[in-house]
């Protein structure tokens, strides 16, 4: 494995003002691995510890516990006491704020890491030009950061992180300051450049769609713990708990009891019903909204519970107030054990 993170833990002291400082577990024994040339997406709500983990890999935070290995090299270990400083870890890091130096032009920003590595002038210039070209900013070299748009700044930051061909590139919510359409365009570009250059990456985001788009592997974090780790396919098909299912987009949730043999389902909202067979009049259409190429319905079930459903525009469209049938298809449902 190219990056190995083993049982990394980190606590912060929460400053309480008048009350004494409380320890707060930002990371609790996290273990994940990334293969060479693959992208790991760390995803989770804010406060889940994803950025802390990234900063631990970069060496900008020091874990309290655990080991981190990059390319077979132990960069941090509480066992051996190793702790390679950030500048010796040979990483690229792209910040949410881009962190372009305001006193340098785009070109100088990108050239900075090469100059620190004493790359000869001619080669330096060629590499800077090549990387500006790679991110589609070849013509912006002599601009200062404040003369660039958000998207352009983000691309320059990408070029700066790639120009010295680091073994690992870390991306900390690189697109969250951009508007939706630009974000979609740039995530495609990042994915393409990652495939083309073949760097190993760790990509932090709070957006599940973005994580599944750029990640070869996805690690879902919550409250400092690793909740699920796998390929996007695995996670999407088999969220290992109800919270993950909700996070990856399952929107309707119903609690009930499976009948003996699994042929029926009993719950308060629907009564006892056979699985896979439609139940006429089980729900009323409350609202219909056009979302992209689908209609999204808000349905009200018995007892006032609301579900959401989508359907293709070419199928029958229902109007608010109409009564519809519902069917529970066993393979469309994810089942999690309840309190019993």
Partner 1 sequence: MTAASSSPAAGLRVRIGGWTGACLLVIVAVFVAYPLLQLIAQTFGGDGEGDFLKIYREAFTSSIAMSSVWGTVWLTLITLLFGVPLAVLLAWITSSTDAPLARTLALLPTLSLALSPLVGAIGWMVLLAPRVGMLNLALRATFGLDVDEGPLNAFSLPVIVMLMTFYLVPYVYGPAYAAFSQVDASLQEAAKVCGAGGKWTLFTVTLPILRPSILAGTLIGGVMCASMFAIPLILASGTGLHVIPTQIYYYINQEGRTGPAMAMASLLSAVTLAAMLLYFRVLGRGRFVTISGKGARRVLVPLRAWRWPAGLLVMVFLFVSLVVPLAALLYLSLVGFWSGNVFSQALDFEQYRKLVDFPNAMLGLYNSTWLAAAGAGIALALGFIISYRRLRQAYPVDRLIAFIASLPLGVPSIVLGLAALAGFTGGFLPLYGTALILVVAYAVHMLPIAMRSSDAGLLQVSPELEEAGLVCGDSRTGVAARVLLPALRRPLLTAWGLSFILLFRDISTSILLFTPDSVPSSVALLSIFDQGWMTGAAAYSIVVTVISAAVVALIIKSADVAEAG
Contact status, residue 205 vs residue 43, Cβ threshold 8 Å: yes
Alpha-helix runs per DSSP H in the chain: 50-58, 106-116, 121-134, 150-162, 180-197, 208-214, 232-237, 242-247
Quick one: angle between helices 180-197 and 150-162, nearest 10?
A: 20
Q: d(Cα 316, Cα 50) in Å, to the nearest integer?
A: 43
Q: Which is nearer to partner 1, 49 or 92 (CB)?
A: 92
Closest CA to 170 of 92, 272, 67, 226: 92
Nearer to partner 1, 130 or 253 (CB): 130
Q: How far apart are CA 160 and CA 173, in angstroms?
A: 16
Residue 92, strand partner residues: 169
Residue from 44, 49, 66, 92 touching partner 1 (CB under 8 A): that is 92
Q: Any contact of residue 298 with partner 1 (CB under 8 A)?
A: no
83 binds partner 1 (CB under 8 A): yes
Phi-psi domain of 235 (left: phi exceeds 0; alpha: psi -120 through 50; beta: other): alpha
Cβ atoms 232, 241 nearer than 8 A: no
Residue 49 gets the label, from left (phi > 0), alpha (psi -120 to 50) or beta, of left
Distance CA 62, CA 64 (A): 7
Please identify which residue in 34, 58, 128, 248 interacts with partner 1, judged by CB under 8 A.
Answer: 58
Pick the binder of partner 1 from 22, 73, 79, 88 (CB under 8 A): 88
| The token pair that represents 312 in the structure block | 């293709």
Q: Which is nearer to partner 1, 43 or 110 (CB)?
A: 110
Residue 15 or 314 with smaller CB distance to partner 1: 15
Helix, coil or strand: residue 174: coil
Choose one: 1-9, 77-85, 129-137, 272-280; the region binding partner 1 (CB under 8 A): 77-85
Quote the least distance from Cβ 20 to partner 1, whole Å.
17
Total length of the chain: 340
- Candidate residues 21, 36, 73, 86; the one interacting with partner 1 per rule CB under 8 A: 86
The correct pick among 33, 60, 267, 279 for binding partner 1 (CB under 8 A) is 60
Segment interacting with partner 1 (CB under 8 A) among 35-43, 44-52, 111-119, 182-190: 111-119
**What mask of x and - would describe binding to partner 1 in positions 155 to 194, judged by CB under 8 A?**
-----xx--x-----x------------------------
* Residue 85 touching partner 1 (CB under 8 A): yes
Task: Return the number of the residue (79 or 306) whose C-beta is nearest partner 1.
Answer: 79
State yes or no: residue 101 binds partner 1 (CB under 8 A): yes
Residue with tokens 């070209």: 133
With beta carbons less than 8 A apart as the criterion, state whether 42 and 202 touch. yes
113 binds partner 1 (CB under 8 A): yes
Scanning 21-29, 92-100, 123-131, 192-200 for contacts with partner 1 by CB under 8 A, the matching segment is 92-100
Chain contacts with partner 1 (rule: CB under 8 A):
58-60, 62, 64, 78, 81-83, 85-93, 95, 97, 99-103, 112-113, 116-117, 160-161, 164, 170
């Amino acid at each position: 494995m190219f990056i190995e993170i083993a049982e990394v833990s980190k606590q912060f002291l929460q400053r309480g003002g008048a009350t004494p400082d409380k320890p707060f577990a930002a990371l609790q024994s996290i273990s994940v691995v990334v293969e060479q040339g693959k992208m790991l997406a760390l995803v989770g709500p804010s406060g889940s510890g994803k950025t802390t983990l990234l900063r631990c890999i970069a060496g900008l935070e020091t874990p309290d516990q655990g080991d981190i290995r990059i390319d077979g090299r132990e960069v941090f270990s509480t066992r051996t006491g190793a702790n390679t400083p950030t500048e010796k870890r040979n990483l690229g890091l792209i910040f949410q704020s881009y962190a372009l130096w305001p006193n340098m032009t785009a070109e100088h920003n990108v050239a900075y890491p090469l100059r620190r590595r004493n790359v000869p002038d001619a080669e330096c210039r060629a590499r800077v030009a090549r990387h500006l070209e790679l991110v589609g900013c070849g013509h912006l070299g002599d601009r200062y950061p404040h003369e660039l748009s958000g998207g352009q700044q983000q691309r320059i930051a990408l070029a700066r992180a790639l120009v010295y061909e680091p073994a690992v590139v870390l991306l900390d919510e690189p697109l969250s300051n951009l508007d939706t359409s630009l974000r979609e365009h740039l995530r495609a570009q990042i994915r393409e450049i990652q495939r083309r250059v073949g760097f190993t990456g760790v990509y932090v985001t709070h957006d599940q769609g973005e994580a599944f788009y750029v990640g070869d592997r996805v690690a879902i974090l919550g409250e400092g713990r690793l909740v699920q780790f796998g390929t996007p396919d695995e996670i999407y098909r088999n969220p290992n708990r109800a919270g993950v299912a909700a996070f990856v987009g399952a929107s309707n949730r119903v609690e009930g009891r499976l009948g003996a043999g699994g042929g029926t389902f009993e719950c308060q909202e629907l009564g006892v019903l056979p699985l896979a067979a439609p139940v006429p009049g089980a729900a009323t259409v409350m609202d219909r909204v056009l979302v992209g190429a689908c209609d999204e319905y808000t349905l009200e079930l018995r007892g006032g519970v609301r579900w959401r459903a989508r359907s293709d525009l070419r199928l029958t469209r229902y109007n608010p107030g109409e009564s519809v049938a519902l069917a529970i298809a066993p393979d469309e449902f994810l089942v999690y054990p309840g309190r019993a």
